[in-house]
Structure 1
Amino acid sequence: MWLFLSALVLLAAARSLDWQAWLADKSRQHLCFGAAIALVPLWMLQAGIRDGLEVHFLGLTTLALMLGWRLSQLMALLSLLLVTWFGIEPWHEFGANLLLGGILPISASYFVFLLSYSYLYRHLFVYIFVAGFFNAALTMAVKTLAFAGYVTWSGQYPWQVVVDDYLSILPLLLFPEALLNGMAITLLVVFRPQWVRTFYDRDYLINK
């Protein structure tokens, strides 16, 4: 079921992508694959008390802001394939990891960006702190709560164990995840703004 739902979302993302333009842009391809590969060591650095309840930094807010919703979904798929192939994640959990650990947090992160772009004052610091910093913390919370619900629903662990051994460390993850993505976005918009698809000079810098 998880893999089927994930496939539907990824198919929708792939069908709406301008593949002709993407294939003609070599620098864009290098950026996409480089971002996907950069997530692999980040996801491989896991910590946890019990099997199936490991935590790691996501970096998905930066990915979503850099590539947009469609490409970030496809690159997250590539990252997860590599992490699973290396044996860090089990293949039988691939569908759930893809949907709850990739598609859902990327969608939540991009949705927060759209809200900030539509309803908040468009300024560089708003982009960095709301779309980058606070957005990343919220994305980590969404992913962690989704997995907590999944392992409880699937019967892997009772709810109280999940709360004590998994959700209890969530507050410790929010600030580091927010800081990691906030710093990455800050460096990107300062030194490589052309790499960030959701950052527009005319909106965030000109006449501010």
Structure 2
Amino acid sequence: MTMWQITGWILWLLITVRYFPREFWPKLKTEPGYQHFVFGSVLGLSVLWSIQAGIINGLNLHFLMLTTLVLCHGWRIAMLLCAFISLILITFQIIPLADAGLYALTTFIIPGLFSYLMFLASYRYLSRHLFVYIFVAGFLTSAFTIALHMLLVSLWFYTEGRYEWDIIYDNYLKMSILTWFPEALLNGGAITLMAIYQPHWLRTFYDREYLSPDR
């Protein structure tokens, strides 16, 4: 393992321990409905993240649906669920074990935190309206999140010296434009359906505030 890979593992473990959601296990043990929701989230994203396409080795494109996961579970639980997903991908050799730490940082820890901060900003500074929640916290944020993810991966591969920047830009980063709208559409659609039919699945959605007739 390189120094970058070791550093990635250390940071991932430190962040996981520091921000471990203590309320997760009691809730998971006592609520069967929540168990199904958690297992469905992990299974669904495991399948989605395993479907990858790319031109050069390691720089693969796939949808994230990370913004939806964060809005459903909150940032800390979402990061824990993504850790389970990473272990599944390692088991099936979809991502190398040595790269798991840097993969975690660039795929879900930093982008997931960005998604959550965008939600907090929209909640604090914008009108608490259903359209704002869906379009800003969901649709727009998910597009920015996948763009940030691909930029972080590009910087990781360039800094570690795996590829020259021209190769990364031409064969990976430039293609990120193709993922922005589909990623935003997937997340926006999922959040819209849940806000209407299953609002209790969205931990960050508050009926009395977003659906109040006074707003």
Is TM (by shorter chain) over 0.5?
yes
In the alignment, the residues of structure 1 paired with residue 166 and residue 48 of structure 2 have an alpha-carbon distance, to the nearest angstrom, of 28
Post-superposition offset of 1:55: 1.0
Residue by residue, what CA displacement relative to the aligned partner does 1:118-174 show, whole Å, maximum 9, x if unpaired? 100000010000000000001001100000000000000011111111111011110
Q: Which residue of 2 aligns with 1:50?
A: 56
Structure 1 vs Structure 2 CA RMSD: 1.3
Indicate which of 156, 163, 167 corresponds to 1:157. 163
Which amino acid in structure 2 is aligned with residue 153 of structure 1? T
Post-superposition offset of 1:18: 5.6
The 3-state SS of whatever aligns with 1:121 is coil
The answer to whether structure 1 residue 166 and structure 2 residue 211 are counterparts is no
28-37 or 119-128, larger mean C-alpha shift: 28-37
- Evaluate the alpha carbon distance shift between residue 18 and residue 88 of structure 1 in structure 2; reply closer, same or farther with a 3 A threshold: closer
The answer to whether structure 1 residue 88 and structure 2 residue 97 are counterparts is no
* Residue pair 1:17, 1:70 contacting (<8 A) in 2 also: no
Residue by residue, what CA displacement relative to the aligned partner does 1:161-200 show, whole Å, maximum 9, x if unpaired? 1111111101111001000100010111111111110000
Post-superposition offset of 1:32: 1.6
Post-superposition offset of 1:206: 1.5
Indicate which of 78, 81, 105 corresponds to 1:75. 81
Post-superposition offset of 1:81: 1.1
Q: Which residue of 1 aligns with 2:137?
A: 131
Q: Which residue of 2 aligns with 1:41?
A: 47
Post-superposition offset of 1:30: 2.2
The 3-state SS of whatever aligns with 1:14 is coil
Indicate which of 17, 21, 25 corresponds to 2:31. 25
The answer to whether structure 1 residue 140 and structure 2 residue 142 are counterparts is no
Which TM-score applies when normalising by structure 2?
Answer: 0.93
* Residue pair 2:21, 2:77 contacting (<8 A) in 1 also: no
Post-superposition offset of 1:28: 1.9
* Residue pair 1:46, 1:54 contacting (<8 A) in 2 also: yes
In the alignment, the residues of structure 1 paired with residue 210 and residue 62 of structure 2 have an alpha-carbon distance, to the nearest angstrom, of 31
115-124 or 95-104, larger mean C-alpha shift: 95-104
Which TM-score applies when normalising by structure 1?
Answer: 0.96
The 3-state SS of whatever aligns with 2:56 is coil
* Residue pair 1:3, 1:99 contacting (<8 A) in 2 also: no
Residue by residue, what CA displacement relative to the aligned partner does 1:36-82 show, whole Å, maximum 9, x if unpaired? 11101111111100001111000100000000111101001111111
The 3-state SS of whatever aligns with 2:19 is helix
Q: Which residue of 2 aligns with 1:186?
A: 192
Give percent identity, aligned residues only: 43
* Residue pair 2:53, 2:60 contacting (<8 A) in 1 also: yes
Name structure 2 gaps, 5 residues minimum.
Answer: 1-6
Q: Which residue of 2 aligns with 1:175?
A: 181
Q: Which residue of 2 aligns with 1:103?
A: 109
